[in-house]
C-alpha cells in the first residue's frame, strides 16, 4: 500500500474510539437484555465486530501492527437462537479433519491391530497396502477422542475441527436419524466451538473460539 493510501494517525485514533464506544454499547445491551435471544445484544455484537475489524485494518495499514484478539466476522456468526429455552434433549455434532501424512505408519498400526485379532484372520489379510481398510481398522478399534490425542502415532496430522451443541425438544427415536446424521438447524445451535490454526499459531492451533456466548 502506498503512503498516500494509508490512513492518518487521526483516522486510526478515531477507529480506536469507535471500538471503545461499541464496547460500551455492547455491555449496556447485555446488562439490559430482555431475553436469551435479545436482538439488541445481537446487533451490538455485530457492531462491535465491525468496529474492531475496521480498527485492526487501520492499525495494520498505518503502523504494521495487529490487535491481540479475534472477533468472529458477522458473516460467520450463527443466526439468533430460536430453540427451546429449556431443552429436553441435545445433539452434539463433531467434525475433525486429518491429513494422512505418513501412510506407511498408518498401515503398520492397522496391521498390528489386525494381527492381534487371532479370531479373524481375514481381517489381518485385508489390510495389506489398503489405506481404506487400514482406516476402517483404526477407527473401529479406537474412540475418536483417543485418535485425536494420539493422531501422530497413526501417521495423521490434525486439520480444523468444530463442535456444535444443538437443542432438541425430545430425544430422537432409536435409528431415527441414522440415514442423515449430520443435518442441523443452525437456529437451534446453543453453542459452537472451532479449533483452527488460523486463530493463533502461537497457541499450536488450539485456539478455542466460542461463537455464540
Beta strands in 56-169 (DSSP E): 89-100, 156-168
CA–CA–CA angle 28, 49, 31 (5° rounding): 15
**Nearest-CA neighbor of 22 among 61, 55, 67, 62?**
55
Higher pLDDT, 140 or 212: 140
pLDDT score, position 208: 34
Mean pLDDT of 92-118: 89
Cβ neighbourhood burial of 4 (10 Å; 0-12, 13-18, 19+): exposed
159-181, pLDDT tens digit by residue? 999 999 999 989 999 999 999 89
Is pLDDT at 28 greater than 70 in this prediction? yes
* Cβ contact 7:64 at 8 Å: no
pLDDT of residue 201: 43
Which is more confidently placed, 155 or 47?
Answer: 155
Percent of the chain with pLDDT over 90: 39
Task: Give the list of residues 6+ apart from residue 167 with CB closer than 8 angstroms, or none.
Answer: 83, 84, 87, 89, 90, 188, 189, 190
- β partners of residue 92: 165
Whole-number Å distance between alpha carbons of 212 and 173: 28
- In sequence order, the 6+-apart residues with CB closer than 8 A to the CB of 66 are 56, 59, 60
Q: Which cell numbers hold the place of 200?
A: 493463533
Q: Which residues pair with 96 in a beta bridge?
A: 161
Strand segments, DSSP code E, in the chain are 89-100, 156-168, 189-195, 209-210
Q: What is the largest CA-CA distance in the chain?
A: 76
Q: Supply the pTM of this predicted model.
A: 0.56
How many CA atoms within 13 Å lie on the side-chain side of 181? Answer: 7
Amino acid at each position: 500500500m502506498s503512503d498516500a493510501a494509508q490512513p492518518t494517525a487521526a483516522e486510526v485514533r478515531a477507529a480506536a474510539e469507535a471500538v471503545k464506544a461499541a464496547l460500551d454499547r455492547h455491555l449496556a445491551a447485555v446488562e439490559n437484555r430482555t431475553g436469551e435471544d435479545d436482538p439488541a445484544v445481537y446487533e451490538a455484537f455485530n457492531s462491535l465486530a465491525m468496529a474492531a475489524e475496521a480498527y485492526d485494518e487501520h492499525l495494520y495499514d498505518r503502523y504494521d501492527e495487529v490487535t491481540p484478539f479475534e472477533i468472529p466476522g458477522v458473516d460467520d456468526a450463527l443466526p439468533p437462537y430460536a430453540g427451546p429455552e429449556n431443552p429436553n434433549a441435545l445433539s452434539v455434532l463433531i467434525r475433525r479433519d486429518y491429513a494422512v501424512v505418513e501412510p506407511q505408519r498408518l498401515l503398520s498400526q492397522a496391521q498390528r491391530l489386525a494381527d492381534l485379532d487371532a479370531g479373524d484372520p481375514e481381517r489381518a489379510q485385508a489390510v495389506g497396502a489398503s489405506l481404506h481398510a487400514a482406516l476402517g481398522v483404526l477407527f473401529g478399534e479406537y474412540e475418536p477422542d483417543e485418535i485425536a490425542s494420539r493422531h501422530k502415532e497413526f501417521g495423521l496430522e490434525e486439520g480444523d475441527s468444530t463442535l456444535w451443541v444443538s437443542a432438541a425438544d425430545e430425544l430422537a427415536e432409536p435409528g431415527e436419524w441414522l440415514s442423515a446424521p449430520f443435518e442441523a438447524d443452525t437456529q437451534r445451535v446453543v453453542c459452537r466451538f472451532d479449533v483452527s490454526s488460523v486463530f493463533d499459531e502461537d497457541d499450536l492451533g488450539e485456539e478455542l473460539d466460542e461463537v455464540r456466548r
